[in-house]
Structure 1
Amino acid sequence: MDHPDDYLIISSLQEDGKRLRPGDWVERISSALANFDEHRRLHYSTSVHPCIIEGEKCLVVARGLETADPAAYAFVMEFARANRLRILADRRSGARALPLPAGNP
């Protein structure tokens, strides 16, 4: 089972408290790293996927992505840094733990 610290949460809020525009950036990045199944349904990766935490759109990034796909990890992290987005380690557990999409690694 994954440990909560194995995930980073990138918030839609910038360091100055403003919300990043465009508002669909989380879905755009998640979709770029997703796969389609045989029924043409989009499946988000368990390594990068959208999530809403306390009403805020966030991007969940597995720390293991840095090893599994260094280019994708570098892209996501550079995007977050360039846009001064808040990056936090996910420390929730139990019932508050992140729901991860099933299927794709």
Structure 2
Amino acid sequence: MISPTAKEIFIQGITRDGRTFRPSDWAERLAGVMCSFRPGGAYPGSHLSYSPWCIPTTINGVKCVVVNRALRDAEPMAWDFCVNFARDNDLQVAEACLVPDAPPKA
């Protein structure tokens, strides 16, 4: 269950039983499907870059997709698609909160 206060979720390419999820490009595919959901909406050529709300990455050697809460606020069905993708494929999901940067030292 994802808490309503989560600022970001990390969908990890590891199933709950510890197997690596396949295909190996799943993160890029999921983020590619979400590319048109972005601040200000889709625009010509936006399909050529990832949405800032749904970004594929690798963390500690594990493929992940970082999904920002702003996606849920802008398009709840797109957020649900990502969450259901993780659930349907038995992928591990971690919640994150944004930690503010440290103030500059004087």
Q: TM-score range by the shorter chain?
A: 0.7 to 0.9
Give the structure 2 partner of residue 54 of structure 1.
Answer: 60
Per-residue CA deviation, residues 32-62 of structure 1 (Å, 9 max, x unaligned), is: 1215876788211111110111111100001
Compare CA radii of gyration and give the structure with the larger one.
Answer: 2
Change (3 A) 1:39 1:78: closer
Question: Does the Cα contact within 8 Å between 1:7 and 1:62 map onto a contact in 2?
Answer: yes
Quote the Cα distance in structure 2 between the aligned partners of 1:76 and 1:39.
22
Instruction: Name the SS for the 1:64 alignment partner.
Output: helix
Give the structure 2 partner of residue 70 of structure 1.
Answer: 76
Q: Structure 1: give runs of 5+ residues left out of the alignment.
A: 96-105
Give the structure 1 partner of residue 33 of structure 2.
Answer: 32
Structure-2-length-normalised TM-score: 0.72
Give the structure 2 partner of residue 43 of structure 1.
Answer: 49
Quote the Cα distance in structure 1 between the aligned partners of 2:10 and 2:35.
18
What is the root-mean-square deviation in Å for CA atoms of aligned residues?
Answer: 2.4
Change (3 A) 1:92 1:18: farther
Amino acid at match of 1:31: G
Give the structure 2 partner of residue 6 of structure 1.
Answer: 7
Give the structure 2 partner of residue 16 of structure 1.
Answer: 17
Question: Does the Cα contact within 8 Å between 1:37 and 1:43 map onto a contact in 2?
Answer: no
Quote the Cα distance in structure 2 between the aligned partners of 1:87 and 1:40.
27
Quote the Cα distance in structure 1 between the aligned partners of 2:46 and 2:69.
28
Quote the Cα distance in structure 2 between the aligned partners of 1:34 and 1:48.
8
